[in-house]
Amino acid sequence: MSKGGVMDYVRSLPAAIWLLAIAAAFSGSGPQGFALAGEGKETRISGRMLAADGGAIAGVIMIEKGRLYGKDYKYGGSVDEKGRFSVTVPKGGDYGLHFYATGYIYFPVGVEVKTGRDNRFTFTLPPNKAVRDAPVISRVLFEPIADNPDQVKISLSVHDPNDNLSHQVLGANIRTREGFIFSPPKFVFPWTRNYPNGVYTLTYDTRGRSVDPQEWVFVAADNRCYNSPVLRHPFTREGVIPARAPGRAKPSGPPAPPAKALDTASLLELGRKTFANNCAICHYPDKKKTKVGPGLQGLFKRRLTHARKVPVTEENILAQIQKGSDQMPPYAHITGDALAALLEHLKSL
């Protein structure tokens, strides 16, 4: 194109893109050389982790690349005492988020992340009333590998009192925002089975940096969704990250109104919220498909429960909620109106 032709072409364009068109015409580059809106912005997963009373919880977030339970843990970060987390990922797509806090039930959720955005989420974790049944990380070692100075072997001694440890023996480097899954002491197949107690290991590539144990946080979870205390340096009782700082006041609210019978609409709405804050972690309310546990659509139209194979009655469902089972934690904190409302919600599915 001649220079005269170029200028004729440019004059026909909107004034806002004159300079871009001139640069493209004389440099030989086309539109592919221009940055699109949103390009160059970080893709982040951020938000807050809360308790049922609305108060903040501290702990750790671990992130899988791809769908939930793909076991491709790539990223991780801390959740501060105000419940805030923020982790940068390379691009959008499917990610599995896993939240852990000392004294709470572990929370897994699959999300779709948009590229070039700060993708914000808020999640509520149920408390774990059976802390004594949770796994424990008792010993952490960082050992240099003699024939490779750029690698360090990290070892965790893990014990689950009920021998139902899951594959989730995990570590996060808080500085680099990397997440890792540790190798078990022996091969386990399929991965959904209980994992053995023992020493779990990770070979970490330092990329020429010195390893600082203070950059690391570790956690383990079992197949009932109990997780160990979240552990940071010095990796002893003094290193346990408390979910809620000692002495920190819980959020205050208006005085509770006098107890009164809930109408049907209020009862179902309370049941829906109770389900969302506790059961939706593992169960679909509108599908029979398995999520982590079985989908609960049409629960009270079934003859037997999915796992225990006992008759579907109000008594048996209430016992399942409050006492749990081999693959489900007890939700004994759900009581009173919330429990009655949850039962009515389950009957409506």
Task: Select from 81, 127, 125 the least CA-distant residue to 246.
Answer: 81
The pLDDT assigned to 110 comes to 87
The pLDDT assigned to 7 comes to 41
The pLDDT assigned to 31 comes to 32
Within 10 angstroms of residue 214's Cβ, the number of other Cβ atoms is 11
* Residue in this structure with the two tokens 């309370």, named with its chain if needed: 270
The rounded distance, in Å, linking the Cα atoms of 225 and 330 is: 10
At the second CATH level, the architecture of 264-348 is: Sandwich (2.60)
The pLDDT assigned to 109 comes to 85
- The backbone torsions φ and ψ at residue 235, rounded to the nearest 5 degrees and listed phi first, read 60, 35
- The answer to whether 38-245 and 264-348 have equal CATH topology is yes
The pLDDT assigned to 341 comes to 92
Within 10 angstroms of residue 306's Cβ, the number of other Cβ atoms is 15
The pLDDT assigned to 239 comes to 96
* Residue in this structure with the two tokens 């360090």, named with its chain if needed: 152
The pLDDT assigned to 1 comes to 45
- Fill in the amino acid letter for 233: H
ω into residue 190 within 30 of 0, thus cis? yes
- What ranges do the domains of the chain cover? 3-33, 38-245, 264-348
Q: pTM value?
A: 0.75
The pLDDT assigned to 248 comes to 54
| Beta carbons within 8 Å of 8's beta carbon, 6+ residues apart | none
The rounded distance, in Å, linking the Cα atoms of 55 and 290 is: 31
| Under 8 Å between Cβ of 271 and 342 | yes
The rounded distance, in Å, linking the Cα atoms of 128 and 228 is: 11
The pLDDT assigned to 331 comes to 82
- 10 Å CB burial of residue 205 (0-12, 13-18, 19+) is exposed
pLDDT along the chain (349 residues), means of 10: 42 40 36 40 95 92 92 95 96 95 90 96 86 93 93 97 95 96 96 95 93 97 93 95 74 47 83 86 88 90 88 92 81 86 93
Contacts by 291-295 with C-beta closer than 8 Å and gap 24+?
292/108, 292/225, 293/327, 293/328
Task: Tell me which CATH homologous superfamily contains domain 38-245.
Answer: Immunoglobulins (2.60.40.10)
The pLDDT assigned to 260 comes to 53
| Beta carbons within 8 Å of 213's beta carbon, 6+ residues apart | 140, 142, 233, 235
The pLDDT assigned to 151 comes to 95
